[in-house]
Amino acid sequence: MLTACKKYLTNNVNKSIVIVIIFLAISPFIIPKSIAMDILIFGLLAMSYGIIQGHIGQVSFGHAALFGTGAYVTGLLLYYVDIPSSAAWIFFPAGVVGAVIVALGMGALSLRRRGAYFALTNLALLQLIYFIVLQVKGLTGGDDGKWGIPAPTFGSIPVTPESLYYLYFVIFLVCLFLMKRMFLDSPNALVLHAIKQDEARAESLGYSVYREMLKAYALSGAFAGVAGAMYAIQMQYVGMSYLHWSLNGTVIIMAMLGGVNVFIGPFLGAAILIALKDVISMYTVHWQLIVGILVMVVILGLREGILGRFKSLRF
C-alpha cells in the first residue's frame, strides 16, 4: 500500500493532482466557504474548457453556453417538476445530458473551421442560445431569471452548505479522474494530441479528425454541464449571467493563467483569479482594470501560463 502510494507520487502530474485534492478537502476550513465553493465549481468549469484549448487546440468563445445549459436544465426542472425533494437529484444528470446535446450541436457547426472562425462561430452560437433563453420569458424568467429553486435533500435531512460542498467535492473527484483517464491516460488522448500537432497527417493515418474533435468537445460539454448544474443548485437561482459572453472571457483567462497545457493548470488559474478578485475588490471596485491588465501581461509575458513553465507537468 505504502509502496503503491510512493510509486504513484513519483509522477509530478499525480503529485499536482493530489495537491489539488488536499486543497479542496481542507479549503472550507482555511478560506471563506463561499469562495471555496466558487473555486470548486469554476475550477471544474475551467478544466472542462481546458479540454477545448489544451487538447483540441482551439480557442472557443462559446463555453458559457454549455455551462448555462447545464444550469438552466437542472434549475428549471427543479423549479417546475413536482417531485419528492430527495429524488430531485435525478435532475442533476439531466442538466449534463442537456449540455452534451448542445455541445454536439455547437461542435458539429463550429468544428468545420479552425482558429478565428471556430472562436467566433462558438461566440455567435452562444449568443443565439442567449437570445432564445431571454425571449422564452414564460419558461426561463427572461432577464430576471428564476429565483428560489428548491434544493434537493438527502431523505429527510436538509442540505447544509457543508454537506453540499462535500457532495460536490466527491463529484469533482469523479470528474477529475474521468478527465485524467480520458485525456491523459488513454489511446484516444494520444490521437487528439497527434491531431493537435498535425491534422493532415493524423487524417492520413485513418483517424477522423472531425469525429475525434467532436467527441472531445461533447465531453468538455458534459463537464461544463456538471459545473452548471452544481452552480444552479448551490445558488438556487438561474439567470442570464450564466450565458453571458463575458463569462467565457473569465473562463478562458482562468485556463490560460494557470496554463492550458497542464492538466490542473485551468484549476489553478480559476483558484488564483477568484482569490485575486476577492482580495482586490476589498480595496477598489475597479478590479476589472487590474484583471484586464493581468490578461495582457499573461498573454504577452507568460504564454504557457503559470504551470506551463514546468515541463514535467505538461502533456
**Rama region for 236: left / alpha / beta (φ>0; ψ in -120 to 50; rest):** left
Q: Is 113 helix (H, G, I), strand (E, B) or coil?
A: coil
Least gap, CB of 135 to other proteins (angstroms) = 4
Toward other proteins, which CB reaches closer, 170 or 285? Answer: 285
CA angle 250, 74, 104 (to 5 degrees): 65
Radius of gyration, alpha carbons of the chain: 19
Toward other proteins, which CB reaches closer, 61 or 267? Answer: 61
Toward other proteins, which CB reaches closer, 15 or 244? Answer: 244
Toward other proteins, which CB reaches closer, 16 or 261? Answer: 261
Least gap, CB of 299 to other proteins (angstroms) = 5
Toward other proteins, which CB reaches closer, 11 or 246? Answer: 246
Among 35, 115, 50, which Cα is nearest to 315's? Answer: 50
Residues lying near other proteins in the complex (CB under 8 A) = 58-59, 61, 109-110, 112-121, 123-125, 127-128, 131-132, 134-135, 245, 249, 252-253, 256, 286, 288-289, 291-296, 299-300
Q: Residues near 182 by Cβ (< 8 Å), separated by ≥ 6?
A: 188, 189, 219
Toward other proteins, which CB reaches closer, 109 or 174? Answer: 109
Least gap, CB of 137 to other proteins (angstroms) = 9
Torsion of CA 26, 30, 33, 39, to 10 degrees: -70
Residues in the chain: 315
Q: Which cell numbers hold the place of 248?
A: 467565457
- Please state whether beta strands 237-238 and 146-147 pair in parallel, antiparallel, or not at all (unpaired): antiparallel
Least gap, CB of 248 to other proteins (angstroms) = 9
Toward other proteins, which CB reaches closer, 36 or 125? Answer: 125
Toward other proteins, which CB reaches closer, 5 or 136? Answer: 136
Least gap, CB of 230 to other proteins (angstroms) = 25
Least gap, CB of 286 to other proteins (angstroms) = 5
Q: CA 4: distance to chain centroid?
A: 31
Instruction: Spell out the alpha helix ranges (H) of the chain.
Output: 2-8, 12-30, 33-50, 63-80, 91-110, 115-135, 137-140, 161-183, 187-197, 199-204, 209-235, 245-258, 265-283, 287-301
Least gap, CB of 245 to other proteins (angstroms) = 6
Least gap, CB of 293 to other proteins (angstroms) = 6
How far is residue 33's CA from residue 44's CA, in Å, rounded to a whole number?
17
